[in-house]
Amino acid sequence: MASPIADVSYRDYDGPLFPARYRWWVIAKQGILLASKKRNLQVLSFVSAWYYVAMIIVLFFVNQGGTGGDMRSRAMESIMKQVIWKDQFLHGFSFAQLPLLLVTLILGAGAIANDNRSRALLVYLSRPCTKLDYLIGKFVGIFVPIFVILAVPTILFYAYCALSFNQYGFLRDAPYLLPQMLVVIVVSAAFHAGLVLAVSAMFDQGRVAGATYAAMYFITNFFTVAMAITWASADGKAPGPVKHLFYGSIDGLQIGFCKALLDTSGSRPFVGSQKGTEAQLPVPPPPMMAISLIILALIVGSAFLTWRRIRAVEVVG
């Protein structure tokens, strides 16, 4: 109960009201704020950057070992000179995929499903807020945290390499590496955000939506692994479709796009990836145009599905 001296009578609000534009940003901001408070998300952010952290440690010690004049130092220096820098970013991105799945589930599985359950759409749509505002707000609320989680370690690793290993051809070998990686990260964040929102919009329970998205991820990933084994067992001479079907999964599409944009097939992780020793095993990159169109179609299709599911009338009764 209110304090006996409190004035609890109703008073009209006479303060400012912003015009009914950019309402999507209020929704996005709320999503980002809620995400920033989730402890497990913070832990996963660090986990998703594990390859970059490991590489920083490895490169630091290899580089330190290469500063003397003895034979061991010359060997270390030789290793440094053979590092394929863009592949390190490809690996960093690839190894972040599984933690990124968990990040996406935490951020997006309940984004619309929980709103469906609690009929929150009535709260949104009874304000000067359109379906489009809602959709964009939810999308940005997932997209931005994923982008930050992927971009921050990438930029830090890039800065570390640019400042420390320029003498080993870091900037010369791939001058557009950072913008290319940022494009990859934007596409990846948009892809995850779009897909998980569409799945979330189909359900009334965040957990069910999360389980469905995870099932989609692992089932398609199993298919990718099967294609990879087929490719490897055929010693790179498997039929043509195999190398394309390898990218037929949620993370496969993203890795394929990354490979196509960086123009690399990939190689063994860490300093095992050396110039002139690219293994035959890595599947070659898919055609850039094709994979870009597939990803774009999936993002647009997901947005369309989500749009169809956002209906105020159903929840009004």
Partner 1 sequence: MNVVEVSHLTVRYGSFTALSDFSCEIQEGCTGLLGPNGAGKTTLIKTLMGFVNPQSGTARILGQDVVASGPSIRQRIGLMPEQDCHIPGMTAVSFVAYAGELAGMPSAQAIQRAHEVLEHCGLGEARYRNVETYSTGMKQRIKLAQALVHGPKVLFLDEPTNGLDPRGREEMLDLIRSISHGKGVNVLVSSHVLRDIERVCDRVVVVMKGQLRATGTIKELKAIQGQPLDVEVREPNNAFASKLMEIGAIVGPPKNNIYRVQLAGDVLKAHVTVQSAARATGAQIRGFRLAERSLEDAFLDAVQPGEPPHILHAPTTGGAQ
**Residue numbers at the binding site for partner 1 (CB under 8 A):** 1-2, 6, 8-20, 23, 26-27, 30, 34, 110, 114-115, 117-130, 312-313, 315-317
CB of 301 to partner 1, least distance (A): 26
State how far the Cα of 195 lies from the Cα of 237, in Å rounded to an integer: 33
CB of 15 to partner 1, least distance (A): 5
Question: 3-state secondary structure string, 14-34?
Answer: CCCCCCCCCHHHHHHHHHHHH
Considering beta carbons, is residue 13 or 163 the nearer one to partner 1?
Answer: 13
CB of 35 to partner 1, least distance (A): 11
Considering beta carbons, is residue 11 or 237 the nearer one to partner 1?
Answer: 11
Considering beta carbons, is residue 129 or 161 the nearer one to partner 1?
Answer: 129
Residues 2/8, Cβ–Cβ less than 8 Å: yes
Residues 54/153, Cβ–Cβ less than 8 Å: no
Residue 214, Cβ density class (10 Å: 0-12 exposed, 13-18 middle, ≥19 buried): middle
Q: What percent helix, strand, coil does the chain show, rounded to 5?
A: 70, 0, 25
Residue whose tokens read 């999308």: 139
State how far the Cα of 13 lies from the Cα of 177, in Å rounded to an integer: 52
Strand partners, 274: 83
Considering beta carbons, is residue 128 or 241 the nearer one to partner 1?
Answer: 128
CB of 122 to partner 1, least distance (A): 4
Considering beta carbons, is residue 96 or 106 the nearer one to partner 1?
Answer: 106
CB of 126 to partner 1, least distance (A): 4
CB of 106 to partner 1, least distance (A): 12
Residues 108/193, Cβ–Cβ less than 8 Å: yes
Residues 144/108, Cβ–Cβ less than 8 Å: no
